[in-house]
Amino acid sequence: MTAADLTPLDDLPLLDHHVHGALTTDLARPEMESALTESDRPVPGWMTQFDSQLGLAVRRWCAPVLDLPAHVAPEEYLRRRSELTAAEVTGRLLRASGIATWLVDTGIAGPGVLSPAEMAAASGARAWEVVRLEAVLEQLAREGFSAAELPARFPEVLAERTASAAGLKSVVAYRSGFDFEPNRPSDSEVVAAAERWLRAGGGRVVDPVLLRFLLWAGVDRGLPLQLHTGHGDPDLRLHRCDPLLLTEFIELVEPTGTELVLLHCYPFHRNAGHLAQVYPHVFFDVGLAINHTGLRSDSVVAESLELAPFAKVLFSTDAYGPAELHHLGAVLWRRAMRRTLAPWVEDGVCSAEDALRVASMIGRDNARRLYGC
Amino acid sequence: MTAADLTPLDDLPLLDHHVHGALTTDLARPEMESALTESDRPVPGWMTQFDSQLGLAVRRWCAPVLDLPAHVAPEEYLRRRSELTAAEVTGRLLRASGIATWLVDTGIAGPGVLSPAEMAAASGARAWEVVRLEAVLEQLAREGFSAAELPARFPEVLAERTASAAGLKSVVAYRSGFDFEPNRPSDSEVVAAAERWLRAGGGRVVDPVLLRFLLWAGVDRGLPLQLHTGHGDPDLRLHRCDPLLLTEFIELVEPTGTELVLLHCYPFHRNAGHLAQVYPHVFFDVGLAINHTGLRSDSVVAESLELAPFAKVLFSTDAYGPAELHHLGAVLWRRAMRRTLAPWVEDGVCSAEDALRVASMIGRDNARRLYGC
Amino acid sequence: MTAADLTPLDDLPLLDHHVHGALTTDLARPEMESALTESDRPVPGWMTQFDSQLGLAVRRWCAPVLDLPAHVAPEEYLRRRSELTAAEVTGRLLRASGIATWLVDTGIAGPGVLSPAEMAAASGARAWEVVRLEAVLEQLAREGFSAAELPARFPEVLAERTASAAGLKSVVAYRSGFDFEPNRPSDSEVVAAAERWLRAGGGRVVDPVLLRFLLWAGVDRGLPLQLHTGHGDPDLRLHRCDPLLLTEFIELVEPTGTELVLLHCYPFHRNAGHLAQVYPHVFFDVGLAINHTGLRSDSVVAESLELAPFAKVLFSTDAYGPAELHHLGAVLWRRAMRRTLAPWVEDGVCSAEDALRVASMIGRDNARRLYGC
């Protein structure tokens, strides 16, 4: 029995349960360099972000999609990219990913960022929305509301805003870290916090009471609730984003029946595996880390398949920006799964059928059941 | 020089320095599913715990012991299991493990759980007891004692209870986590804490003063003291069970000459390796994690052989429940050691003799010296 | 394309950006055993430190340099070592390392420890000094100074002391851990702390205000500032040496333009990779861990090449003591890089040219740019 038996994995239609709209504007080199890192600082002139796992992966796997040989130099890649229209590049990369369904976090929108409907159109796939809790409140503040009505009104607004959404997302990791007091705040605490926030002009929600209010409103809404976890941009303090710090919150949510999805988790993905084993309502992926660890994502994916039952692990790209990231998220995940599973089959410790079934669960079926789509 | 030179590893008689008595009652599917996870929650109906590393391992390595082909479906496995008597299944699996000596933690007893003597009889091996400190105090409370006599009386009770024991065990990880004040409590603190505890009716010891009192009574007793560390059921808070949080306690114990054994440690096993390198009286294993990471236990075992001198690493299964876990703990450890050591020999970086000697130290010899059995 | 294409890696002249002077005194067995561990405790009589990753590596790779077959027994190795002069042994091992430039931390000096100039002479390589901040202040205290003049005088002393140095080093990890208040202390706080310290007789600096004063004086000096991070001797508390705990300090330093270099980082090297990705002025290595994880250093090195751009990763041996450690630091790094990069080339995910360029960046070029030497 050989690894060749795993070739169906290459054609498995994937469900990317957490992604952002692809950016379809033309990209000059500095913008492409910035898209290859979570850093929000300019890439220093004495280095290039192409000298990274993600940079190597672009040259290896995206170049052929644009009719170039693998391993072309970054300049050649960017020249060819600018020869084609941005829409053409985006369409080619998205379609070649083999992703059949996108769950699109619309919390970061902007000019040139595809909406869920546009993602579907560009890729020939289906798309659903994932609504970011903090964005709903910030939008509400722009529209105007009185602090006193927030506890009653926000759930109504959220219900309306998520009428056709597949899930919810929280970025409390970026706004405060996970070492927060996990209990549901009282209405009077929420009103007082909202008054302070509105008086200060609204804007980015960082008040800990409001962040907890949003989390619990999300829990009450009942859709699967995604939480960014682990590595991300320097807005977050990584040691405060270990998912283990959510343990008390996880236990408080358990009786409600709402399911929690820990996103990415690197380098705490083994910790996430523990939580996914012991709590029935906890799921996770290693999304963002797959792109950023590139050729090493095989190890990261393998480590994510230790403690967690296979029904609790999901696939995502967490791609944001140029469609190279959407494409690579799928290419690298398929490669990582193949490299993880092949030795199991070759050593006779599981059948190819079992290995493919596990890949299908993680790549699609678990998310279908969880999000109902 | 090839990996074939490591075949003696398959027949190495092992000393399992931390295990629980096998459960010899018949197991219906829900009970078997629960035995394959550390979760104490019911396994949800939309998933099966057989879709996990441990589930794959049962089908691969336990099925042949019950005369079935490898990879049989779970239903077939359970049907065959129920055809044989529970005693027959247990005996076959224990004997086929090649474990020659069991050190049995008797802290979890109950109907159908084999005692050390019964483990020996069922497996044709030798067995010694490891006594759980918290259980001794809880038993004493059931028999009745006055708080005032505790500081003087407990050491006597413990000496008697452990007259023929190989070691001691603490579950302070579950009861409080490791971020406790590590100094020996005074007699008056202990008496006051015991009074509060007895007044509240005794039961499960969670009072931090009593837990520390037990640890120090264990240290005074002088037998190797095992501490559960890392992954376990949701009673514990994993981030409070990192063995590094024990550093102050470890340093306070050092002058006494008592040896400390960190059990399991996953995902903090590299941290445990640091402690085992720098403190002469610290030992560790990756027991429980071997079963629960299954086919991935080769990586976990390899990671446990980084900083620690080889004389400080031990083998355990930490099996609890059906004898499948006792069997797999040995099968997977042998496989993991073979996969860890084979490249060392194949690349010429150590001789097969050296590799086998390291395996023998970890699988048996280190524990023999440590426990004197 | 095969791994054979990576053979130039074996001859790449390396820049070891953090090392200590080799010890050229004769070593009896207990001293050699102690040199193979970070523990400062005597190695217990029932074990030998040769039964460790580092011990296996000495027998495998240092024995041939002393004209012995690989895998000789420790006694034979030590006998041969004592037959040759200590200078001969040191010269052979240093020269065979292929290290062309040493940046020598002179913070630990003593009889038989080579100075940078002596390292250069013994190895036929170039050497530069890295000055340890705490040692400069402790030396100043021995020479005498008044607390009131410290804020103004220390920068002058440091400028003079580092006139021809390549970099600075801090051991705040050992003296307090990284969970310190990161802001620059005021002059009056520094003077008060210096008064307390001098009144108590000076000696080892552990006062948190003085340690922060030294860090900020180092930042002001503008040379790359190295910080010991992660695994080390039991003077440190490993969980307080996670580089993530430096995040606030890193952000405060960013506007100054001073570059920070996290040394070693094990087992927190993935955390260091995050910091190196998101902060342009953060670099790191896995130096000390390469020797101490021995045959497993391939995994550690591979893990260090996940999130970090390749321009932000450095090579060091952190060797201290017998020249075996200097030699192995280079041998094991070359082996680890070869084992990390070969699959990338064999699987066609990058070209051999790209792989060799990455190796050259990490082994030499990144440090040349950073330290200007």
The mean pLDDT value for B120-145 works out to 97
Cross-chain residue pair B37–A309, CB shorter than 8 Å: yes
Helices (H), B167-256: 172-175, 187-199, 208-221, 247-253
The mean pLDDT value for A330-338 works out to 98
The mean pLDDT value for A218-247 works out to 97
* Predicted pLDDT of residue C2: 54
Checking if the pLDDT of A125 tops 80, the result is: yes
Give the span between the Cα atoms of C329 and A186, in whole angstroms.
58
Q: A66: distance to nearest CA of chain C, Å? A: 17
Give the span between the Cα atoms of A352 and A1, in whole angstroms.
8
Distances in whole angstroms, Cα of residue C51 to Cα of each of A292, B306, C67: 37, 12, 22
On whether the pTM is more than 0.80, the answer is yes
What would the two tokens of residue B20 be? 């629980």
Cβ burial, residue C46 (10 Å; 0-12/13-18/19+): exposed
Nearest to C239 among B244, B308, B361 (CB): B244
Determine which of C350, C354, C365 to mutate to test the interface with A (most A C-beta atoms within 10 Å).
C350
Residue type, B90: T
Distances in whole angstroms, Cα of residue A52 to Cα of each of A11, A293, B327: 27, 9, 44
- Higher pLDDT among residues A161 and A5, named by residue: A161
Q: SS3 of C346, please? A: helix
If one counts every other C-beta atom within 10 angstroms of the C-beta of residue C188, the result is: 10
At C145-168, the pLDDT tens digits run 999 999 999 999 999 999 999 999
Where does the pLDDT of residue B5 fall: very low under 50, low under 70, confident under 90, or very high at 90 and above? Answer: confident
Where does the pLDDT of residue C3 fall: very low under 50, low under 70, confident under 90, or very high at 90 and above? Answer: low
Please give the mean pLDDT across all residues of chain B. Answer: 96
Give the span between the Cα atoms of A282 and B133, in whole angstroms.
33
Give the span between the Cα atoms of C256 and C277, in whole angstroms.
19
At C198-208, the pLDDT tens digits run 999 999 999 99
Give the span between the Cα atoms of B160 and B269, in whole angstroms.
34
* Predicted pLDDT of residue C108: 86
At C89-145, the pLDDT tens digits run 999 999 999 999 999 999 988 889 999 999 999 999 999 999 999 999 999 999 999
Mention every residue, 6+ apart, whose C-beta is less than 8 A from residue C311: A46, A47, A48, A51, C361, C366
Nearest to C155 by CA among C201, C226, C222, C240: C222
Checking if the pLDDT of A269 tops 90, the result is: yes
Q: What share of chain C is helix, strand, coil (3-state, %, to 5)?
A: 55, 10, 35
Residue type, C90: T
If one counts every other C-beta atom within 10 angstroms of the C-beta of residue C227, the result is: 25
Q: SS3 of C261, please? A: strand
* Predicted pLDDT of residue C290: 97
Phi, psi (deg, nearest 5) at residue A183: -75, 155
Q: SS3 of A21, please? A: coil
Q: A333: distance to nearest CA of chain C, Å? A: 14
Q: SS3 of C104, please? A: strand
Mention every residue, 6+ apart, whose C-beta is less than 8 A from residue A28: none
* Residues in chain A whose Cβ is within 8 Å of chain B: 242, 244-245, 247, 251, 270-271, 273-275, 277-280, 302-303, 305-312, 343-344, 348-351, 354, 358, 361, 369
What would the two tokens of residue A34 be? 């910035």
The mean pLDDT value for C230-240 works out to 95
Checking if the pLDDT of C1 tops 60, the result is: no
* Predicted pLDDT of residue B110: 84
What would the two tokens of residue B137 be? 């105090």
The full DSSP string for B60-105 is IIIGGGGT--TT--HHHHHHHHHHS-HHHHHHHHHHHTTEEEEEEE
Q: SS3 of A262, please? A: strand
- Higher pLDDT among residues C3 and A337, named by residue: A337
* Predicted pLDDT of residue A87: 94
At A294-311, the pLDDT tens digits run 999 999 999 999 999 999
Strands of A260-264's sheet in order across: A14-19, A99-105, A126-132, A167-170, A225-229, A260-264, A282-284
Q: What percent of chain C has pLDDT over 90?
A: 97
Residue type, A100: A
Paired residues of C260 in beta bridges: C225, C282
What would the two tokens of residue B289 be? 């994690």
Q: Which chain B residues contact residue A275 at CB under 8 A?
A: 238
Nearest to A42 by CA among A31, A53, A27, A54: A31
Nearest to B306 among C37, C237, C293 (CB): C293
Checking if the pLDDT of A9 tops 70, the result is: yes
Checking if the pLDDT of A353 tops 60, the result is: yes
* Predicted pLDDT of residue B352: 95
Nearest to C236 by CA among C321, C305, C179, C158: C179
Nearest to B175 by CA among B139, B208, B206: B206
Please give the mean pLDDT across all residues of chain C. Answer: 96
Q: Which chain B residues contact residue A369 at CB under 8 A?
A: 46
The mean pLDDT value for A5-25 works out to 95
Total residue length of chain B = 373
Q: Which chain A residues contact residue C245 at CB under 8 A?
A: 239
Checking if the pLDDT of A1 tops 80, the result is: no
Q: Which chain B residues contact residue C43 at CB under 8 A?
A: 280
CB A214 within 8 A of CB A206: no
At C237-288, the pLDDT tens digits run 999 999 999 999 999 999 999 999 999 999 999 999 999 999 999 999 999 9
Strands of B225-229's sheet in order across: B14-19, B99-105, B126-132, B167-170, B225-229, B260-264, B282-284
Residue type, B105: D
Checking if the pLDDT of B267 tops 70, the result is: yes
Give the span between the Cα atoms of C127 and A170, in whole angstroms.
52
Q: A114: distance to nearest CA of chain C, Å? A: 26
Cross-chain residue pair C56–B305, CB shorter than 8 Å: no
Nearest to C232 by CA among C205, C203, C267, C257: C267
Paired residues of C16 in beta bridges: C102
The mean pLDDT value for B240-267 works out to 98
Cross-chain residue pair C52–B354, CB shorter than 8 Å: no
Q: What percent of chain B has pLDDT over 70?
A: 99
Q: Which chain A residues contact residue B40 at CB under 8 A?
A: 278
Nearest to C104 by CA among C93, C96, C115: C115
Q: What is the CATH number of domain C3-27+98-371?
A: 3.20.20.140
The full DSSP string for B13-24 is PEEEEEE-PBB-
Nearest to A138 by CA among A114, A107, A173: A107
Neighbours of chain A (3+ CB pairs under 8 A): B, C
Checking if the pLDDT of C4 tops 80, the result is: no
The DSSP call for residue B312 is G
* Predicted pLDDT of residue B1: 44
* Predicted pLDDT of residue C5: 87
Phi, psi (deg, nearest 5) at residue C163: -55, -35
Where does the pLDDT of residue B308 fall: very low under 50, low under 70, confident under 90, or very high at 90 and above? Answer: very high
Q: SS3 of C163, please? A: coil
Checking if the pLDDT of C325 tops 70, the result is: yes
CA atoms lying within 13 Å on the CB side of residue A338? 19
Query: What is the signed CA dihedral for C23, C25, C27, C33, rounded to 10 degrees?
Result: -20
Q: A359: distance to nearest CA of chain B, Å? A: 11
CB A3 within 8 A of CB A342: yes
Q: SS3 of B205, please? A: coil
